[in-house]
Amino acid sequence: MKIQKILLGDKMEKILQKKTLPDWVNKLKNYQIIAPVQNENHWDFQILSDPSRIKLDYKNTILSPKKFIFPQREVFFRFRSDEQSSYDLQENLPEEKPAVIFGVRPCDARALTLMDKVFGGDMQDPYYWKRRNATILIGLGCNHPPSENCFCTSVNGSPFSREGLDIMLTEMGDTYFVESISKKGEQLIRQAEALFKNPKEADKSEKKQLKSRAEKEISRKIPNIKNIPSKLETMFDSDFWNEESLSCIRCGICTYLCPTCHCFDINDEIKSNFPIEGERVRTWDNCQFPDFTMHSSGHNPRPDRAARLRQRILHKFQYFVKLYQTYQCTGCGRCVSQCPVGIDIIEILNKVDAR
């Protein structure tokens, strides 16, 4: 398994009428179609049972589509004791149909490129890559910031970043401006070529204007982000972490919602004690929980809220930068918007800069 290389095809630029989006989707019979679906008070990515009901008029989803590549719970293998008191182990690599995810926000697509670094490297994670390589990402550029806490432009992103995407859609009135980014994306457009028209020069210039306007509309910023990693290096023992984490109720929503957080747990779940039968399961885990790092002796290297908040910030803005030369954050703002006690990563980083 090699790290997926984006095969660059001829860049295609097309116009698609919004009302013909379901027709395109209907042509993609070999894929599961995943798109945002409206629940009571939020949108969430789901596998569409009726792909013709696809709708992309949403702001952002409560969770990023990361769960389709790195699910919250997955079975690594099944074990069962046999008559010789040995075990039969059944590897359980993903077998899902290839998927196309529609309407991925650029920050969430970039987040997957960061996750690729973690699950790639010397030790490839076969479960991750099986799904990752079988998933096509169709982005939806952000004409307006979907959230008041968007800050992608501060962390090397943009409302129209293409990183990680195979196709980019830009909403323009009754149409989408459609651009292929990868070979996979190009092939997806070719499967329904008759639905697409060629753009006029006016369409192209409108798209450019949208982009620069969108960037200007982002109000939340970390102006001196470049200074942050080196400043953090000097702040490990600072009382700052104690002050900033006082209100934390260790609910873990910040990392649960984060499109780049990858920490996980591995546990056995048993169905029967005799014969011993069960599954080894990977689940998302959370660095904000006290037992995340607690040794079985009771010793805990990160014994309090301060140490755990520090880990979250330092992992994203110091350790990850050291390992991969990029921040482990794409500025989606979910952790800021959903924190029940108002812990605000943008504010924290700006305070670090001011120190």
Partner 1 sequence: MKSNDYVPELARIIDIKEEVEGSRSIKTFRTNFVNPNGFSHRCGQCAMLSVFGKGEAMISISSTPLIKDYLQFSILKTGRVTTALHEMNPGDIIGIRGPYGNGFPIDDWKGKNLIFIGGGIGLAPIWSVLQTALGKKEEFGNLTLYYGSRTSADLVFKEELEKLKSEMTVHLSIDVEEPDWKGYVGFVPANVTEKSPSPENAISITCGPPIMIKFVIKALQDVGFDDRQIYTTVENKMKCGIGKCGRCNIGHHYVCKDGPVYSWAELKDLPQEY
What number of other Cβ atoms are within 10 A of residue 226's Cβ? 9
Nearer to partner 1, 303 or 340 (CB): 303
Q: Does 197 bind partner 1 (CB under 8 A)?
A: no
Q: Does 340 bind partner 1 (CB under 8 A)?
A: no
Q: Does 3 bind partner 1 (CB under 8 A)?
A: no
Q: Does 119 bind partner 1 (CB under 8 A)?
A: yes
Two tokens at 6? 């984006």
Helical packing angle, 345-354 and 305-314, nearest 10°: 80
Instruction: Answer whether 47's CB lies under 8 Å from 65's CB.
Output: no
Contacts of 251 (CB under 8 A, 6+ apart): 288, 340
Q: Does 87 bind partner 1 (CB under 8 A)?
A: yes
Near partner 1 in 252-291, by CB under 8 A? 262-268, 270, 273, 276, 278, 280, 282, 285, 287
DSSP string covering 43-100: EEEEE-SSGGG-----S-BSS-GGGGTS-SEEEEEEEEE-TTS-EEEEE----PPPEE
Q: Does 8 bind partner 1 (CB under 8 A)?
A: no
Nearer to partner 1, 14 or 308 (CB): 308
Contacts of 103 (CB under 8 A, 6+ apart): 35, 36, 56, 58, 138, 139, 140, 169
Q: Does 91 bind partner 1 (CB under 8 A)?
A: yes
Q: What is the CA radius of gyration of the chain?
A: 22
Nearer to partner 1, 125 or 171 (CB): 125
Distance CA 130, CA 121 (A): 15
Q: Does 132 bind partner 1 (CB under 8 A)?
A: no
Coil vs helix vs strand at 188: helix
Q: DSSP 3-state helix, strand, coil percentages of the chain (rounded to 5)? A: 35, 20, 45
Nearer to partner 1, 265 or 347 (CB): 265
Give per-residue burial for 298-325: e unless 16+ CB within 10 Å, then b: eeeebeebbbbbbbbbbbbbbebbeeee
Nearer to partner 1, 151 or 320 (CB): 320
Q: Using CB under 8 A, pick the residue from 302, 337, 338, 353 that binds partner 1.
A: 302
Residue recorded with tokens 């599961």: 32
Q: How far is the CB of 292 from partner 1 (least distance, A)?
A: 6
Nearer to partner 1, 93 or 249 (CB): 93
Distance CA 89, CA 161 (A): 43
Size of the site for partner 1 (CB under 8 A): 52
Q: Segment near partner 1 (CB under 8 A), from 56-64, 78-86, 153-161, 331-339? A: 78-86
Of 186, 174, 152, give the one whose Cα is nearest residue 330.
152
Q: How far is the CB of 66 from partner 1 (least distance, A)?
A: 14
Q: Does 301 bind partner 1 (CB under 8 A)?
A: yes
Q: Does 72 bind partner 1 (CB under 8 A)?
A: no
Two tokens at 30? 């070999």
- What are 46's strand-pairing partners? 35
Q: How far is the CB of 96 from partner 1 (least distance, A)?
A: 17
Q: How far is the CB of 121 from partner 1 (least distance, A)?
A: 7
Q: Segment near partner 1 (CB under 8 A), from 83-91, 179-187, 197-205, 238-246? A: 83-91
Q: How far is the CB of 291 from partner 1 (least distance, A)?
A: 9
Q: Does 323 bind partner 1 (CB under 8 A)?
A: yes
Q: Using CB under 8 A, pick the residue from 184, 315, 316, 334 that binds partner 1.
A: 315
Q: Using CB under 8 A, pick the residue from 60, 318, 330, 350 that binds partner 1.
A: 318
| Residue ranges in contact with partner 1 by CB under 8 A | 1, 76-77, 79, 81, 85-87, 89, 91, 93, 118-119, 121-123, 125-127, 236, 262-268, 270, 273, 276, 278, 280, 282, 285, 287, 292-297, 299, 301-302, 307, 314-315, 318-320, 322-323
